[in-house]
Structure 1
Amino acid sequence: MNTTHPDWPSSLSDAELDELDKYLRARANDGDLLLDGVHGMLSALAVGPLQVLPDEWLPEVLHEPFTDEDEGNRVLALLAKLNDSIVAELEVDAYEPILGEIDTETGPMLSAAGWCEGFSRAIDLRAMLWEKRLADDTQLMEMLGPVMALAVDEGILNAETEFEKLTDEEYDECLAQVPAVLATVSNYWHEHPVTEEELKALAEDGGKAPETEAVHPPRFRSGHWLH
């Protein structure tokens, strides 16, 4: 599992990453995001077209109310810190995705499946904006090429045409390009911001994903969780 740079105050330590990982694993059902998935989701949100507040993305992570207030505050603080660390890494070109591990005949191997799943769910939160731009601008599609190749290879996305599995070398090469992809996509949205027409269409579409009744999280403002 990759970790963030220890010199940044907002970065999670190895112990904190393990703590959050254990919390998520202990409560995960089939299809729920684990730490790698949460990292992928927050990474996509950090470079996306519009801000997505925690009351939209937390239901993708937390699926039941906290039974212990102290534990709940601790988990929310760790998630906020993880989100901050992603932004910090992207700003100094030191981003690395947190990846999961799978067991193979030759031993454990890193897998981008969970990270890609989280990335995909983040795009779904602003699906209308992403889908329209991807359809209208082949440049954005090309930028996302390595991430999309990983997602198709892992079965997260369905390819419209027959897709040959990546070789180990190709897989590693796509993984190595992920930080550059995020930086490029972030620059793209800064240089080609959402238009008034797109905002109007988004508002007509409801503005965000359907709300869930499973959790009612606090909002996040400037590094702090507010109730």
Structure 2
Amino acid sequence: MTGKSEWPSSLDDSELDELDRYLRAHTGEDDLLLDGVHGLLSALAVGPLLVLPSEWLPEVLHEPFADENEGNRVLELLAKLNDSISAELDVDAYEPILGEVELEDGVMLSAAGWCEGFSRGIDLRAGVWESRLSEDPQLMELLGPVMALAVDEGVLSADAEFEKLSDEEYDSCLAQVSAVLVSVNQYWQAKPVTEAEVEAMALQLPSDTNKDNSNPPRQRSGHWVH
């Protein structure tokens, strides 16, 4: 596999650990950890419209920085993580950052945090995504493996009764994540957002007014694993 160090914009393991420690020390129960941030930025990287840092940073950072140096360092790490996603997708070297969940019989990888972040990334351009998903079944088909993981982890709800994925099916969906992102990115390049979709999105109410605070917290995963 191609090493992350071949891209100057990518984080090495020590930098991932550093960002992971910061997020763990400054997040609440429903906030994204490193795997979730990676999912969020992945959705934005392959999405239909540009999302500026001023829009996605509030999904990641929830407390004032202790000092300017800390703030600059965290923002630098987040920028490098963001830049690395497109670089890795371009050379077929992308891997989702996953969490670890401790079970009675050992530790297993979990895509719950990554899927949660990916879902929130879609939410930042929800109007366009929802409009296109309802009109073009091709996009839903392309997203199939990621949607299956998200439903399996309880991040998304399914209209019909959903049978849990087997270990083999779960691993198969995980193995397809990189290809899914490449395909979705190519989809939006081939079928860009229309003016009507942009206008419809502009007419939507701010997302904060649509939140249902009665929903239970979504699942979050444990330690990052790349």
For normalisation by structure 1, the TM-score amounts to 0.89
Amino acid at match of 1:83: N
Distance 1:169 1:197 in 2: 42
CA shift at 1:205, angstroms? Answer: 2.2
> Which position in structure 2 is the counterpart of 1:5?
4
- Structure 2 residue aligned with 1:45: 44
Question: Aligned pairs, how many?
Answer: 208
Q: CA contact under 8 A between 1:4 and 1:11: conserved in structure 2?
A: no
Partner in structure 1 of residue 159 of structure 2:
160
What is the TM-score when the length of structure 2 is the normalising length? 0.89
The percent identity for this pair of structures is 72
Deviations 1:162-216 (A, max 9, x none): 000000000000000000000000000000000011111122226x7459xxxxx
Structure 2 CA distance for aligned equivalents of residues 11 and 4 of structure 1? 10
Distance 1:37 1:4 in 2: 22
Alpha-carbon separation, structure 1, partners of 2:186 and 2:169 = 25
* Equivalent residue number for residue 217 of structure 2: none
**Match of residue 100 from structure 1:** 99
Query: Structure 1: which 5+ residue stretches go unaligned?
Result: 212-227
CA distance in 1, matches of 2:57, 2:27: 14
Which residue is equivalent to 2:67? 68
Deviations 1:77-126 (A, max 9, x none): 00000001111001111110000100012211110000000000001000
Q: How does 1:57-136 map to 2 (within 5 A)?
A: 57-136=56-135
Looking at structure 1, the residues matched to 50 and 207 of structure 2 have their Cα atoms a distance apart, in angstroms, of 13
SS in 2 for 1:109: strand
Q: Is the 8 A contact 1:12 1:82 kept in 2?
A: yes
Contact 1:36 1:100 in 2 (8 A): yes
